[in-house]
Amino acid sequence: MLGTLGRYLRFMGYDTISANSITPGNTREDSLLLEIAAHETRVLLTRDRDLAKRGGELAIFINPVSVLNQIQELVDRGLVDPRIRLTRCSLCNEILRRARDREILNTRYAPEQRARLKFYWCVHCKKLYWTGSHADDLANRLKIGIQRPVLPGER
């Protein structure tokens, strides 16, 4: 249910896995999610208030509906620094590497104007990412939509 938030978190470079990989209807699903969180030192983000309560320290209840408000919640808790980093694939969570010229040339959706852009590649999805356009749009949404905590000395 937090798929968009998951994509944003990956754009911000956070190692994020989705509960979708677990079979729906699995009666042990909730326990399994908490086990994974404990075992892999992850935080479980959920819109299920009861599950969040059960998870205690391991889980966070995400109440807002809009993704920017969801990110704000994580920023307020000091869990997330809201910057686009392009270090991780937004689809599969794989670490991105710099794209090779051949990969850029073979990608239909690559931009025509490439000067001053940096390109990254997901070896798993064969997906091309670059600074500018989409990344800038997301960065602007974060800049406009998210209030960062004021650090001591910044005021």
- CB-based burial of residue 5 (10 Å sphere; 0-12 exposed, 13-18 middle, 19+ buried)? buried
- x/- site string to Zn ion, residues 116 to 135, per CB under 5 A? ------x-xx----------
Give min distance, CB of 90 to Zn ion, in A: 8
96 part of the interface to Zn ion, by CB under 5 A: no
Nearest CA to 101 out of 88, 83, 114 is that of 114
The Cα–Cα gap between 139 and 144 comes to 9
Contact segment (CB under 5 A) with Zn ion among 18-26, 66-74, 90-98, 143-151 equals 90-98
C-alpha angle with apex 69: 1 to 55, nearest 5 degrees? 55
Among 26, 35, 66, 91, binds Zn ion (CB under 5 A): 91
Nearest residue (CB) to Zn ion, 62 versus 122: 122
Site for Zn ion, rule CB under 5 A:
89, 91-92, 94, 122, 124-125
